[in-house]
Amino acid sequence: MNNKINIANLPTKIEKLEKISAELGVNIFFKRDDQTGSEVSGNKVRKLEYSIKEAIDQGCDTLITCGGIQSNHARSTAAAAIKAGLSSVLVLRTNEEPEVDGNYFVDRLLGADIRFITSDEYSNSRQEIMENIVKELEKDGRKGYIIPEGASNGVGSLGYINFVKEVLEFEEKSDIKFDTIVVAVGSGGTYAGIHMGNDIYLDGKRRVVGFNVCDTAEFFKEKVKEIIEESKEYLNEKDLEKVKSENMDIIDGYVGDGYALSTQEELNFIWDLAKKEGVILDPVYTGKAMFGLHKEIKKGSFKNSKNILFVHTGGLFGLFPKKNQFEFKS
């Protein structure tokens, strides 16, 4: 688990949301992975620390990855690449000339090589497009390393196996024990890592809950199984014996209008929580997941939970392009 480079500010702090906890009658804590850094902020950098180490070990000089025009992962990759002495190529999905705002604005500031593709190209041929970029680089004597969407693969998931160890170390130093860990699921790697970490470090005794922000719960259960299978080549024999692919707990029903699309109710929830707790969620991942958690607690789905740890995976830059969708009242 230590075969990585160090970029993120770790460990990230854990704080209790006092007002929301009192309102819901259950202790809600946030693991502030939105504070892993400024340019690299969010959950992706935990995964990138392992991916980039592998890229360097393979003699690569350029990271190639993909995402939407407001991809947190792409922005984090561009920043992390610079810190590691590498270049980056970002393959971004958009069907129109994008406004230079949010994550895309930061991508431009960081000087990333940005390639636009359409939604259809992204769905059907993004892997082929990235492989062609590898070939293009080879002609110039360079070597590319492809990182999938969200760094959600076997090597990337190691970052969130290690995350669970970090949570355990916090528990050992405090009088708090978390019975439930909650996270947004958008590409599967973060959930996969936490799921495996729960098996390895906590004997599978904690409830690990995901809220999918796109596709379906069943889609992600299969995706997470694939990532767990990929990760096995990086695990030692002792850890391999502990890891299981069953008992995945992913709650569907909070995709809303779709990936990266926000309902007014979701935006109002983000605004309300910001005013109550001084914590800002993002509209793509944490806003939907925390909105879902809030609803599900009220429905009784977490009646056996006493201390819930919600993983704040970042995404603040992605909130700015949504500014005109908020209905602020004077």
HEC string for 250-294:
EECCCCCCCCCCCCHHHHHHHHHHHHHHCCCCCCCCHHHHHHHHH
- 14-42+153-325 and 44-151 in the same fold: yes
pLDDT at 246: 86
pLDDT at 208: 98
From the number of C-beta atoms within 10 Å of its C-beta (0-12, 13-18, 19+), residue 57 rates as exposed
CA atoms within 13 A on the CB side of 87: 12
Average pLDDT over residues 83-106: 97
Token digits for 85? 């002495």
Please report which helix (H) or strand (E) contains residue 134, including its range: helix 119-139
Checking if the pLDDT of 39 tops 70, the result is: yes
Compute the distance between CA of residue 277 and CA of residue 134 in angstroms, rounded to an integer: 45
Architecture of domain 14-42+153-325: 3-Layer(aba) Sandwich (3.40)
pTM comes to: 0.97
Buried b or exposed e, range 71-83, using 16+ CB within 10 angstroms: bbbbbbbbbbbbb
Domain range list for the chain? 14-42+153-325, 44-151
pLDDT at 191: 98
pLDDT at 38: 96
Strand ordering across the sheet containing 180-185: 14-16, 27-32, 307-312, 180-185, 207-212, 249-251
- Decide if 224 contacts 198 (C-beta within 8 A): no
In this structure, the strands spanning 180-185 and 207-212 are parallel
Smallest CA-to-CA distance from 52 within 8, 93, 107, 102 is with: 8
End-to-end CA distance of the chain: 50
pLDDT at 330: 61
Q: Does domain 44-151 have CATH number 3.40.50.1100?
A: yes
> Annotated active-site positions, please?
71
Average pLDDT over residues 113-117: 98
Smallest CA-to-CA distance from 106 within 204, 21, 181, 38 is with: 38
Residue 218: pLDDT band (50, 70, 90) is: very high
